[in-house]
Structure 1
Amino acid sequence: MNFVAIPNMESDPQVPPLFFGFRPPRNPMEKAIQGLAGLLSDKVILRPASQSYRRQHTAYGQAVPREGRLTDEPYRCSDAIIQTGPESLDFPRRRVNPKVHYVGALLPYRSAGQSVAGRGAGDGLPRNYPATLVITQGTVDNLDQDKLIVPALEEVKDMDALVIVATSGHGTEALTARFAQPNVVVRDYVDFAEVFDFTDCFITNGGFGGVQLSLSKGVPLVVSGINEGKSDVNARVEYAGVGINLRTESPKPADIAAAVGKILADPGWKSRARKMQEQFEGEDPAEVAAAVVEDAGRRTPG
């Protein structure tokens, strides 16, 4: 049994190699470029990890097939794979692995009507603006706020919109003093599950959990991140048509403003995000995941 909390890593002839933020190739030139990138990924980026993996298996007398990529191993060895996210947020695949079960967004449990205590859900927020924007730089790569938070705020602070910023506890007071506009609310933490109920655009570096939560609420995105696999997450957001991918770690303020403007001006972005929301709501992710575990248990000898 394997649980995958990032996008599907299994290789496929139609799926671009990992780490480069590619979308599926549209022509022979793109296919050739991605083929070379795949070799670079296998022979250089993943080589140390692959060698270590094989050494550890050899020490226990276990053979590892020579074909396939290191990232294919969980999909080859497991009896079943619980894959977070809906299948529509993945790229089309030529080969369908029956072991892979897309279960939707596995989000923290909360009882009906429960808010996240002390995390400022919708309490005290003005609701008289024609649009609401939420900005975050995630929970890990958020120390250098000049990457995304600051350039985003510089461009949207004077818009006729409520702007909510979640800092994950870094630099909250300094940002509050710097951006003192009445429509800008800066907090350590935000109860995204509640705030997304009235959000029109989510500006983020592209963590997979936040992307799924946003889409589970039908909120389109502006995504800008490369590290920690975010480039591959953001490529899927772009391919699905539910957000605009700026394809950089440090976007220009004008590019952020242009992307936000496109999201707000074209209802098609919201419509596609809501269509994906319907897919999230189709089944209970926890129940589906539990059913996968139970079925694998019944089929496993001993």
Structure 2
Amino acid sequence: MPASAETSTDAVLSEPLFMGVALLLNTPRDGRPAVVTCGIVPLSLASRDTAPFGLGIPPMGGPIGRIRNLALKGITEKVIFGPVQKYANAVARDATGQPFPGFFMDWPRRADILVQFGVPEFEYPRSDLPDTVHFVGPVSQGGSRDNSDVSLPEWWADLDTGRPVIHVTQGTIANRDYNDLIRPTIDGLANDDVLVVVSTGGRPEDTLTGPLPANVRVSSYLPYDELLPKTSVLVTNGGYGGVQFALRHGVPLVVAGQSEEKTEVCARVAWSGTGINLRTNRAKPDDVAKAVRRVLADPSYRQHAQRIGTAIAESRGVDALVDLVEKLEPGKD
């Protein structure tokens, strides 16, 4: 029995990878709470205009592109994930008496509302997009933010010496091995006239072992609202929130991530013209350095980042989510 059956519930909010809430959709709307999907990863809905989610393949226009997408969809759903779909159907039948509502990776299209925490400018166009989808901007938009507990490091004034600032981070999840991206960035740019600013994503600074070149500065956490306006290029493994936060400030990117949602985020960085996708989980120093130099030399990357940043600045984020939930028609809780 779902928890919503034991207490008065008007709406259930879920991120798209929690598929248990999808089973509520086997009940007619007047017999359940509204289901609101909160898109905290790139939009995963299947479309005739896009390749299946997770492959990191950018759109291809025209009839050939749609044929490609249809073929990939069949292979993905029937072959690669066929056994998973059978399992999902068995679980759903056991819980609700009905099979899983559609392909298990595409269930958010059946939600009453899909609130996508992004902007259309950073998402592949879909001519068959359901009208239940609402782009509201990143989670960092709206609500309240307080960076007062993040103190500035003693080297902060070095950011204003005129050298390009290259910020590198592996985020707070996939940051156990700095050799994936942080160390290659440090080594690749050791002799460049840039300032490499490293965030260890909450880990102690001394976990970054080995010699550090003179142009490197390290901190466990950094106040991004103050750092990104000073940043020339962000080098990152492609977390959805961090990438959009950089774009909010018009910062172009070099991305290297192929885990979690990062494959799709990195593909969108390249597709949108906001940066370079190295298409790897473990970057090489020379590749990072060449990509950074290219982004610094080509103003179009920053121009595209600023274009998307303007769209993000005009979005409302979580405040728009609140409005959408409050407008829902009540069902039977």
TM-score in terms of structure 2 length: 0.81
Q: Tell me the secondary structure at the aligned position of residue 59 of structure 2.
A: coil
- 1:167 is aligned to 200
Structure 1 residues 286 and 171, CA, compared in 2 at 3 Å: closer, same or farther? closer
Contact 1:121 1:195 in 2 (8 A): no
Deviates more, 1:143-152 or 1:20-29: 20-29
1:187 aligns with 2:219: yes
TM alignment of 1:27-106, pairs within 5 A: 35-64=70-99, 68-76=102-110, 78-106=111-139
Cα distance 1:16–1:116, how it changes in 2: closer, same or farther (>3 A)? farther
Cα distance, 1:260 vs. partner? Answer: 0.6
5+ residue gaps, structure 2? 1-35
Please give the alpha-carbon distance, in whole angstroms, between the structure 2 residues aligned to 1:107 and 1:256.
28
Which whole-Å CA distance do the structure 2 matches of 1:62 and 1:121 have between them? 58
Kindly state the Cα deviation for residue 61 of structure 1 after the two structures are TM-superposed: 3.3
Specify the alignment match of 1:279 in structure 2. Answer: 311
Aligned length: 295
Matched residue, 1:13:
48
Among 266, 288, 299, the residue aligned to 1:234: 266
CA distance in 1, matches of 2:132, 2:148: 35
**Shift, 1:64, TM fit:** 3.6
For normalisation by structure 1, the TM-score amounts to: 0.88
Q: Using the alignment, how far apart are the partners of 1:122 and 1:244 within structure 2?
A: 31
Mean alpha-carbon deviation: is it higher for 169-178 or for 47-56? Answer: 169-178
Q: Is contact 2:49-2:65 (8 Å) kept?
A: no
- Alignment pair present for 1:131 and 2:164: yes
Q: Output the aligned Cα RMSD.
A: 2.4
Paired position in structure 2 for 1:217:
249
Distance verdict in 2 for CA 1:131–1:122, change over 3 Å: farther
- For 1:261 and 1:205, how far apart are their aligned partners in 2? 18
Shift in alpha-carbon separation, 1:176–1:132, aligned structure 2, 3 A: farther
Distance 1:121 1:53 in 2: 49
Query: 1:144, 1:36 → 2: CA distance?
Result: 37
Give the 3-state SS of the residue equivalent to 1:143 in structure 2. Answer: coil
- For residues 84 and 154 of structure 2, the distance between their equivalents in structure 1, rounded to whole angstroms, comes to 44
Cα distance, 1:53 vs. partner?
2.4
| Structure 1 spans left out of the alignment, 5+ residues | none
Deviation at 1:193, TM superposition (A): 2.4
1:202 corresponds to which residue?
234
Q: What corresponds to 2:180 in structure 1?
A: 147
Higher mean C-alpha displacement, 49-58 vs 187-196? 49-58
**8 Å Cα contact 2:205-2:218 kept in structure 1:** yes
CA contact (8 A) 1:205 1:223 kept: yes
Q: Is the 8 A contact 1:122 1:194 kept in 2?
A: no
Higher alpha-carbon Rg: 2
Within the candidate set 252, 265, 283, 1:251 is matched to 283
**CA distance in structure 1 between the partners assigned to 2:188 and 2:64 by the alignment:** 36
Q: 1:49 to 1:139 in 2, by over 3 A?
A: farther
Cα deviation code 1:51-72 (max 9, x no counterpart): 3322222123343478x53222
Cα distance change, pair 219–39 in 1 and its aligned pair in 2 (3 A): same
SS of 2:180's partner is coil
| Structure 2: distance between partners of 1:192 and 1:121 | 13
1:98/1:119 CA distance change after superposition, 3 Å: farther
The answer to whether the 8 A contact 2:253-2:276 is kept is yes
Q: Distance in 2 between matches of 1:250 and 1:2?
A: 32
Change (3 A) 1:142 1:44: farther
Is residue 176–residue 186 contact of structure 1 (8 Å, CA) maintained in 2?
Answer: no
Matched, 1:300 2:330: yes
- Structure 2: which amino acid aligns with 1:11? A
Decide whether aligned partners of structure 1 residues 122 and 239 sit closer, same or farther in structure 2, where only a CA change above 3 A counts: farther
Q: CA offsets per residue over residues 152-208 of structure 1, 9 Å max, x none? A: 111113222221101124463253651141x31111112222211111100001011
Distance 1:118 1:12, change over 3 A: same
Query: Identity across aligned pairs (percent)?
Result: 29
C-alpha displacement at 1:274, in angstroms? 0.7
